[in-house]
Chains A and B, each alone.
Chain A
């Protein structure tokens, strides 16, 4: 089954404690991205990757890092989380330039206290 898998689904952490949210896709997609969803703001892109070792900033990259060492994985790293990073995070993947559909993971609800 084609899917994008994020882990964990829920996470409560404390300010400053480094964390990683993993994202994995089994569709051999080139393009992957991370979004955060906040009430009244919709989805905002954090980072995206067009292929292995190719990543770039989205609209709200501050406080986040990503890596793309393998095609299937695109982890989101928060080196020093802060309460304003409390949000619902989605990973998405798609096949390439001409592909129209992005497949989304189930989401990770992060709370930073």
Chain B
């Protein structure tokens, strides 16, 4: 079955860039997502990328996709304390229904 892997924890200093990495196994993935979960809240979609794209930029966020290596990364420029959260990588397969497989989440800690 599909599998999405992420590291558990990342700590960065305020103002630095954060890079959160993710690998996935499903070669038929159509969309890949990054969700953000703040304490006590649900998941909020940050950005997504189609599987036929290499890069997507949205303000401070840059998503890079290496389809050959099945590697996805999220770069947050000028990281702020408000970016402290858990970040989930997720992929949607090309099957007939919208099955989305999530990684375990990377906890980003921003040090002031």
Contact = CB atoms under 8 A, between A and B. Distances in A.
Interface string A85-97: 0000010101001
Interface residues of A, number: 26
A105 to B, nearest CB: 5
A42 B103 contact: yes
Interface string B80-92: 0000000010001
Interface in B80-112: 88, 92, 97-100, 102-105
Interface in A16-67: 31, 35, 40-45, 48, 50, 56, 58-59
A106 B41 CA distance: 5
Interface in B3-50: 4, 8, 31, 33, 40-45, 48
Contacts of B88: 42-43
Contacts of B104: 40-42
Size bracket of the B interface: 20 to 34
Nearest to B4: A42
Interface of A: 4, 31, 35, 40-45, 48, 50, 56, 58-59, 90, 92, 94, 97, 99-102, 104-107
30 contacts: A4-B42, A31-B97, A31-B98, A35-B102, A40-B8, A42-B4, A42-B88, A42-B102, A42-B104, A43-B43, A43-B88, A43-B102, A44-B102, A45-B99, A48-B99, A50-B97, A58-B99, A59-B1, A92-B43, A94-B98, A97-B98, A100-B31, A100-B33, A100-B45, A100-B92, A102-B45, A104-B43, A104-B44, A105-B42, A107-B41
Given A100-B48, A104-B44, 6 more contacts: A31-B98, A35-B102, A45-B99, A92-B43, A94-B98, A100-B33
